[in-house]
């Protein structure tokens, strides 16, 4: 049947395109050559584009460096493998380019947000990427170089779409030939990875290094591949002795530690203040009036000082989990604690669990929801009786319960796009009043108002903080102003809480700390910190002292009873996410399990042991931990405990949970 003339008109260009492509298709031998060369060229182009996306124009300085060349070979072989297997250069490139460019984009955005690159642990949050993006949408802006790289990757994909059909080799031999690039990948980048790749790039796979170092030497793709290789091939870490010998040594070291002197049970208000730091201490920033007057005034009647954190700019949940478990990130290869299963947190006696075992009511109050970090399951394993998020306040807070429209009621407390710190203070007071007659309370409050992004975060009507004065202009100045407003409100909320608890009859201990510094990334690259000249743009150029500074915030411990302060009022002392939990247990008079007595002992020697930096009680910072030969026996016993708890068979758990009779 002859189709109508209109149909012939539509078919004719298609026929002509097929005829044109047939004429352009080279003989079979040349198709093999062109297919292989195009695949390898695609990999090389993709390598350059991933470097450009994640590192920006600074990658041009090492365009022909071993890192770029090895990445080009790695991605080229991957593209070639999928090209031959799927019989299409277009599909081979697409299946490699899509995840690699997403990885590079994620790395760039996380680095801008937090100053540290993406890690394997971050991949556990892939399913929550939408929530994370919504939470940080004002900050997650691609640079010009990243945008250009993405457009170039897409343009090359379009070229391959039209080119692919002309150069694909015969089907049968193509699939068989895919074995060759697969074998090359395995031999060069797996079996030979230690010597062929990472020795060349000066990143020995036997030496644990933070991800920023791996990225600096290898780039984001091979840096991540290094993490995958180590995770898959590393043997279980050996303990320094048998579990029985280790716990016996722990008992010996803690034998002379004093028992807790007080048998009263003070109420505890424990507050994680989002991204809180003393903004008046930033170099190059001044104020005509104090933006955080309540915090500064309370330092005179509290014990306060520097809080060294495991994180910068993000990772709140990992910080709080480290505080509550005492598990040092120095021995966890940079793993984010929120990536673990809830069962892990039940193996050792967490801070909330110790208080619950001592007769306390334990509860968490968060001015956000539970969409990101799975706190409901993880914190149940930590020993919290109740957890209250933004939909739950009517369960314990009478004004919310009495409101005819709950949502309308709590929406009025939004400030700076989040529920205010002032609301958190009222919620904690309300929960305390409802539970104080039943038992002593351990109330854990998490604020949210000061969460990034900071660009135009507060409206003009909401801005009532003293204005910072600095050399910053434009976006950087705007970010600093909005950050200051959040800190101003956090300080006022702290003052409100202390004013209330100052007048209660029962003893109260209030702990207030900033979880991490805000990242303060700028759309043009760099951060407010780099604009102020505080640190270089690249973390690869930071010293140990600069890491310690940037990974630190401020804290204070206040009480209406002098017996529950760790030192005299107005004194200062350093603590960290390693030891804040043990410090609280020390001062509140509860019976401590063997594990927490040991953490307290270790805190007399160490301030912070992070996978990025280390600090001892003499104020010495270093990029590497002290060796056993340098006299840090307790620190390496902690390494054994962590290895057994997290990576091993947790054979020490029962003993470490016991309360010693000495």
pLDDT at 8 over 70: no
Read off the pTM. 0.82
pLDDT mean over 116-141:
65
Mean pLDDT is lowest, of 118-132, 214-228, 242-256, for 118-132
pLDDT mean over 132-161:
79
Highest mean pLDDT among 49-63, 105-119, 598-612: 598-612
Sheet arrangement for strand 606-609: 606-609, 614-616, 621-622
Helix-, strand-, coil-residue percentages of the chain, each rounded to 5: 55, 10, 35
pLDDT mean over 177-200:
93
**What is the structure's pLDDT at 515?**
96
- 411 CB-near residues (< 8 Å, 6+ apart): none
**What is the structure's pLDDT at 396?**
96
In this predicted model, what pLDDT tens digit does every residue of 602-618 receive, in sequence order?
Answer: 999 999 998 889 999 99
How distant, in Å, are the alpha carbons of 106, 116, 138, 524 from that of 141? 11, 16, 7, 9
pLDDT at 125 over 70: no
β-partners of residue 557 are 303, 511
pLDDT mean over 13-25:
53
**What is the structure's pLDDT at 204?**
81
Helices (H), 394-465: 398-402, 406-411, 421-435
pLDDT mean over 153-178:
85
**Under a CB-based contact definition with an 8 Å cutoff, are residues 164 and 60 in contact?**
no
Closest CA to 304 of 566, 107, 551: 566
In this predicted model, what pLDDT tens digit does every residue of 473-508 receive, in sequence order?
Answer: 999 999 999 999 999 999 999 999 999 999 999 999
**What is the structure's pLDDT at 188?**
95
CA dihedral 127, 128, 134, 136 (to 10 degrees): -120
pLDDT-derived band at 127, boundaries 50, 70, 90: low
**What is the structure's pLDDT at 1?**
45
pLDDT-derived band at 523, boundaries 50, 70, 90: confident
Ranges of CATH 3.40.720.10 domains, the chain? 243-657
- State how far the Cα of 658 lies from the Cα of 56, in Å rounded to an integer: 53
Residue 453: asked if its preceding bond is cis (omega within 30°), the reply is yes
- State how far the Cα of 282 lies from the Cα of 554, in Å rounded to an integer: 12
Displacement of CA 410 from its chain's centroid (Å): 29
The CATH code of domain 243-657 reads: 3.40.720.10
- State how far the Cα of 660 lies from the Cα of 662, in Å rounded to an integer: 5
How distant, in Å, are the alpha carbons of 25, 32, 169, 282 from that of 29? 11, 5, 8, 66
pLDDT mean over 25-41:
80
pLDDT mean over 237-246:
86
- State how far the Cα of 577 lies from the Cα of 323, in Å rounded to an integer: 5
Percent pLDDT > 90 in the chain is 60
pLDDT at 24 over 70: no
pLDDT-derived band at 10, boundaries 50, 70, 90: very low
Helix (H, G, I), strand (E, B) or coil at 241: coil
Stated as kind and residue range, the H or E segment containing 366 is strand 361-366
Sheet arrangement for strand 386-388: 386-388, 361-366, 441-446, 267-273, 508-514, 552-559, 303-308, 575-576
95/646: higher pLDDT: 95
β-partners of residue 414 are 419
**What is the structure's pLDDT at 561?**
93
pLDDT-derived band at 2, boundaries 50, 70, 90: very low
15/42: higher pLDDT: 42
- State how far the Cα of 648 lies from the Cα of 236, in Å rounded to an integer: 7
118/486: higher pLDDT: 486
Closest CA to 463 of 477, 447, 445, 474: 477
- State how far the Cα of 660 lies from the Cα of 82, in Å rounded to an integer: 60
**Under a CB-based contact definition with an 8 Å cutoff, are residues 449 and 421 in contact?**
yes
Tokens, residue 616? 């001892």
**Under a CB-based contact definition with an 8 Å cutoff, are residues 617 and 581 in contact?**
no
Phi, psi of 307, deg, nearest 5:
-110, 115
**What is the structure's pLDDT at 313?**
85
- State how far the Cα of 69 lies from the Cα of 62, in Å rounded to an integer: 10
pLDDT at 522 over 60: yes
650/78: higher pLDDT: 78
260/7: higher pLDDT: 260
Tokens, residue 270? 């424990």
Tokens, residue 254? 């803690």
Percent pLDDT > 70 in the chain is 91
- State how far the Cα of 105 lies from the Cα of 83, in Å rounded to an integer: 24
- 451 CB-near residues (< 8 Å, 6+ apart): 135, 274, 275, 418
**What is the structure's pLDDT at 126?**
62
CA dihedral 593, 596, 601, 603 (to 10 degrees): -170
Closest CA to 497 of 567, 427, 564, 448: 427
Question: In whole angstroms, how large is the CA radius of gyration of the chain?
Answer: 29
pLDDT-derived band at 13, boundaries 50, 70, 90: low
pLDDT at 12 over 60: no
Buried b / exposed e along 86-105 (16+ C-beta atoms within 10 A): bbbbbbbbbbbbeebbebbb
pLDDT mean over 35-47:
92
**What is the structure's pLDDT at 87?**
87
**What is the structure's pLDDT at 120?**
75
pLDDT mean over 586-591:
90
**Mean pLDDT score across all residues of the chain:** 88
CB atoms within 10 A of CB 298: 20
**What is the structure's pLDDT at 468?**
96
**What is the structure's pLDDT at 134?**
60
User: Could you please report the per-residue DSSP string of 465-531?
Assistant: SPPPBSS--HHHHHHHHHHHHHHHHHHHHHHHHHHHHTT-SS-EEEEEEESS----B-TTSSBHHHH
**What is the structure's pLDDT at 64?**
86
**What is the structure's pLDDT at 174?**
85
In this predicted model, what pLDDT tens digit does every residue of 272-324 receive, in sequence order?
Answer: 999 999 999 999 999 999 999 999 999 999 999 999 999 888 889 899 999 99
pLDDT mean over 262-275:
91
pLDDT at 250 over 80: yes
**What is the structure's pLDDT at 138?**
61
**What is the structure's pLDDT at 606?**
94
């Amino acid at each position: 049947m002859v189709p109508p003339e209109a149909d012939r008109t539509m078919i004719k260009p298609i026929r002509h395109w097929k005829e044109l492509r047939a004429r352009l298709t080279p003989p079979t031998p040349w198709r093999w050559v062109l297919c292989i060369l195009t695949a390898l060229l695609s990999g090389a182009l993709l390598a350059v584009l991933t470097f450009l996306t994640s590192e920006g124009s600074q990658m041009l300085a090492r365009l022909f460096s071993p890192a770029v060349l090895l990445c080009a070979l790695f991605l080229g072989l991957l593209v070639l493998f999928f090209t031959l297997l799927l019989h299409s250069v277009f599909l081979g490139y697409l299946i490699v380019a899509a995840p690699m460019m997403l990885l590079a984009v994620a790395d760039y955005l996380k680095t801008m947000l937090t100053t540290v690159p993406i890690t394997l642990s971050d991949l556990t949050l892939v399913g929550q990427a939408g929530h994370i993006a919504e939470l940080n949408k004002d900050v997650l802006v691609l640079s010009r170089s990243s945008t250009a790289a993405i457009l170039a990757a897409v343009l090359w994909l379009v070229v391959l779409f039209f080119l692919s059909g002309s150069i694909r080799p015969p089907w049968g031999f193509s699939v068989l030939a895919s074995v060759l690039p697969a074998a090359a990948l395995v031999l060069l980048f797996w079996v030979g990875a230690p010597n062929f790749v990472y020795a060349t790039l000066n990143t020995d796979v036997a030496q644990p290094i933070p991800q920023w170092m791996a990225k600096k030497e290898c780039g984001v793709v091979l840096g991540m591949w290094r993490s995958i290789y180590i995770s898959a091939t590393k043997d279980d870490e050996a303990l320094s002795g048998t579990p029985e010998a280790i716990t016996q040594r722990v008992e010996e070291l803690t034998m002379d530690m004093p028992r807790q002197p007080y048998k009263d049970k003070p109420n505890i208000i424990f507050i994680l203040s989002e991204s809180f730091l003393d903004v008046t201490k930033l170099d190059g920033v001044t104020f005509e009036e104090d933006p955080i007057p309540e915090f500064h005034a309370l330092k005179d009647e509290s014990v306060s000082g520097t809080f060294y954190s495991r994180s910068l700019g993000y990772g709140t949940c990992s910080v709080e989990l480290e505080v509550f478990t005492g598990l040092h990130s120095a021995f966890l290869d940079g793993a984010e604690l929120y990536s673990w299963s809830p069962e892990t947190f039940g193996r050792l006696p967490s801070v909330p669990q110790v208080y619950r075992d001592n007769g306390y009511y334990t509860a968490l109050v968060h001015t956000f929801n539970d969409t990101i970090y799975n706190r409901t399951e993880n914190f149940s394993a930590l020993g919290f009786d109740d957890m209250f998020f933004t939909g739950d306040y009517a369960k314990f807070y009478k004004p919310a319960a009495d409101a005819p429209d709950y949502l309308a009621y709590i929406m009025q407390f939004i400030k700076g796009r989040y529920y205010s710190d002032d609301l958190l203070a009222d919620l904690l007071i309300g929960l305390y009043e409802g539970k104080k007659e039943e038992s002593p309370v351990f109330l854990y409050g998490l604020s949210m108002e000061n969460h990034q992004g900071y660009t135009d975060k507060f409206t003009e009507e909401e801005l009532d903080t003293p204005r910072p004065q600095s050399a910053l202009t434009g976006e950087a100045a705007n970010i600093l102003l909005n950050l200051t407003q959040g800190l101003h409100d956090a300080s006022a909320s702290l003052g409100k809480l202390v004013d209330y608890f100052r007048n209660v009859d029962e003893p109260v201990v209030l702990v207030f700390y900033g979880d991490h510094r805000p990242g303060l990334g700028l759309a043009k690259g760099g951060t407010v910190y780099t604009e102020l000249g505080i640190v270089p743009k690249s973390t690869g150029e930071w010293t140990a002292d600069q890491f310690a500074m940037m990974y630190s915030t401020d804290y204070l411990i206040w009480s209406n009873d002098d017996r529950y302060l760790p030192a005299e009022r107005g004194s200062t002392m350093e603590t960290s996410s390693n030891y804040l939990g043990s410090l609280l247990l020390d001062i509140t008079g509860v019976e401590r399990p063997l594990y927490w007595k040991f953490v307290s002992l270790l805190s007399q020697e160490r301030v912070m042991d992070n996978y990025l930096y280390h600090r001892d009680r003499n104020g010495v910072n270093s990029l590497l931990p002290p060796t056993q030969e340098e006299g840090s026996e307790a620190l390496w016993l902690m390494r054994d405990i962590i290895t057994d708890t997290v990576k091993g068979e947790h054979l020490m758990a029962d003993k470490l949970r016991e309360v010693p009779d000495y």
